[in-house]
Structure 1
Amino acid sequence: MRRWSALALILLVPGCLFDKEPEVVRLSGETMGTTYNIIAIGEDLDEAELGTAVEDTLAAVNAKMSNWDPNSEVSVFSASDSTAPVEVSAEFATVIAAANDVHRKSEGKFDITLGPLIELWGFGPRKPEDAVPSDEAIAEALQRVGQGSLLQLDQPSKTLAKADAGVGINLAAIAKGYGIDAVAGALKAAGIEDYMVEIGGDLVTSGENDEGETWRIGIEKPEPGAQTVQLVIPATDLGMATSGDYRNFFEQDGVRYSHIIDPTTGRPITHRTTSVTVVAENAMMADAWATAMLAMGQDAGMKVAEAHKLAVFFISRDVTDSEEAYITVQSSAFKDVLARN
């Protein structure tokens, strides 16, 4: 269920300027196996203090959510062979509760217990000669996938239990969004109301950009090796995430295997939807829903988007006359976002 985010960050034409020329602090670095970029706008900003606040916030998030850190909260829980309820942090419980909500509403297409299938299909380090998993191996891995039945969260008491000792949690499809929101919270705590926080292409914005304009973000066309814009949308005071399958896949015996795995079948997706952008109230939900919608595909995803009033933009392959073209579809809520322009 890991994915490639593809949002083109675009700051468009100047408009109404601030009465006083604002200070702009730009911070960048590495986190969560990718990069972050932050634009903070205000008066009397201290770049060093903001940089420290951002790094401290990201370190705290990684200490709880990182699957790469063996000592993180999620890694310790996953490695435990106990099925007894374990007390978890409030932050961890919040992320698990959000994941459960998306899992339920997406009919299981979003699943944080997907790890055994990710490993089975070889996304990361995969050699061209590695065999495609057998039906038997997929069936075996599926026994340890399914957060709805394998994880039990008691949010009031902040305890989490797993039904089987072999169950693990992979938060790659939601923790990045949570981290973005946490950094945004740190900026607000510093009195900053105008900002953009982006990690690995997913982002959240607030207020106005440094030209006094609505933040405007470009959605990238799903073309490997190119960085062209499909659509520009107003995205102030919203979280936004794009999930695509067009950069991370492998081919074997003439078959293309996407890195997006359907948790209900145990196999890579086969539909023609190649990119999904979700706009939500925060980056965490946009992050999770972008993955869920790409796993579902345009037809099933649109039904869920309309049912739950989700702002979703689908780009799907439309193969005609041996030439690859694309078709786009917008949910009603996404059209409302565009109308804010």
Structure 2
Amino acid sequence: MFYGLKKLGVWLCLTAWLLSGCSGWGAAEVQKLSGYSMGTSFTVSVVASESEARALDGEVRTAIDEVNVAMSTYLPRSDVSRFNDAPVNGWIAVSPMTAEVVSLALEVAEASNGAFDPTIGPLVDLWGFGPKETTDQVPSEDEIKAALAMVGWQAVEIDMTANKLRKMEPRELDLSAIAKGFAVDQVANLLEARGFEDYLVEIGGEMRFSGTKPGDDPWRVAIESPDSDNRSVYEVLEVTNGSMATSGDYRNFFEQDGQRYSHTLDPKTGYPIRHDLVSATVLGDRSVFSDAYATAFMVMGAEAALSLAAEQDMAVYLIQRGEGEYTETRSVQFEALFEQSN
């Protein structure tokens, strides 16, 4: 159960948007493993002895790297890159984990009516947010229409028994909005399999947590302020079991002629999102779903996001841009979690 939600007037003990809490974080029982993979940093905090943490270090890195090697669009021999290069109607053998993630991605795509679409790769590349080197400039309408013709999750087919994928029309996968969440779950599953019940796993801002810190203190995590000029804390949550992912339009973008263009693209229009929702945080059981739905909600906008959250019984926290200030909206499920903590 999640519990405890506090609004901070100032930000304290901030490391990126992950807060451990000032008291007790330096205690020897909380061991930290950190590194770089999947194009971002990761931190694993686990209640363990130093020797246990050292033994875990290699396994944690391997678990994350295996996901990266399978699903990166930057590696030419990854499962995703091979699928993208494959001809239409040709089956491609992939790892079981890639087949699982694609299956989950298509599940979210269907539930969100395409707001989340794992075949958005051509648009991501066109707008300069993918692995292909481009200049920061707005594509022409014809270029966007051409890229849109290659987007559509319904054209991807999976054989889960044989772990194979194929495309019925020209398609390119981009799993960047779900793979980090899956990697977080892989690490969490590894820790639990090794008998560790108290941990916090974070990869590029996607998190999963379990148990408490020594002294029965909850883990403290932060929702970042949607301010592109500086990093600060907007909200702090004290949590024990579950996952959290946040998607926003305030970090990865470019500007042209005074207009800002976000990396969050609408798979239906081909353009970056243009509404007042600037941050969507999802709390759930599995990071893979929190990660994907956070992106879907950002694409959909606040009203549609709250509607889908209610339909899926999901706890979400939305921040919208108003006139000179931000406003926040919490789903009924999020409020219920907060009420249970008081």
TM-score over 0.5 (shorter chain)? yes
* Count, aligned residues: 324
Aligned to 1:127: 135
Aligned to 2:157: 152
2:221 corresponds to 1:212: no
Counterpart of 2:42, as a letter, is Y
Within 5 Å, give how 1:135-174 maps onto structure 2. 135-148=141-154, 150-164=155-169, 166-174=170-178
Query: Shift of the alpha carbon at 1:78?
Result: 1.5
TM-score between both structures, scaled by the size of structure 2: 0.89
**Pairing partner for 1:111 from 112, 117, 124:** 117
**Pairing partner for 1:56 from 44, 62, 71:** 62
Aligned to 2:92: 86
Q: Is the 8 A contact 2:86 2:92 kept in 1?
A: no
Aligned to 2:7: none
Aligned to 2:292: 288
2:321 corresponds to 1:317: yes
Q: Which moved more, 1:193-202 or 1:57-66?
A: 57-66
Q: Deviations 1:125-174 (Å, cap 9, x if unpaired)? A: 5535x3x22222111111110112x101233443321012x311111000
Q: Distance in 2 between matches of 1:249 and 1:142?
A: 20
Q: Distance in 1 between matches of 2:69 and 2:261?
A: 33
Q: Distance in 1 between matches of 2:16 and 2:273?
A: 22
Q: Is the 8 A contact 2:38 2:65 kept in 1?
A: no
Question: Structure 1: 5+ residue runs without aligned partners?
Answer: 1-5, 16-20
Q: Is the 8 A contact 1:23 1:45 kept in 2?
A: no
Sequence identity, in percent?
39
Q: Which moved more, 1:180-189 or 1:87-96?
A: 87-96
2:111 corresponds to 1:102: no
Query: Shift of the alpha carbon at 1:225?
Result: 2.9
Query: The residue matched to 1:211 in structure 2 has which SS?
Result: coil
Q: Distance in 1 between matches of 2:230 and 2:214?
A: 28
Query: Shift of the alpha carbon at 1:229?
Result: 1.8
Q: Deviations 1:152-200 (Å, cap 9, x if unpaired)? A: 1233443321012x31111100000111111111111221110111011
Q: Deviations 1:234-262 (Å, cap 9, x if unpaired)? A: 33221111111112222222322111100
Query: The residue matched to 1:262 in structure 2 has which SS?
Result: coil
CA RMSD of superposed structures (Å): 2.1
Q: Is the 8 A contact 1:64 1:92 kept in 2?
A: yes
Query: Shift of the alpha carbon at 1:87?
Result: 3.5
Q: Is the 8 A contact 2:123 2:144 kept in 1?
A: yes
Aligned to 2:11: none
2:250 corresponds to 1:246: yes
**Pairing partner for 2:179 from 175, 182, 192:** 175
Q: Distance in 2 between matches of 1:262 and 1:136?
A: 16
Q: Distance in 2 between matches of 1:151 and 1:127?
A: 30
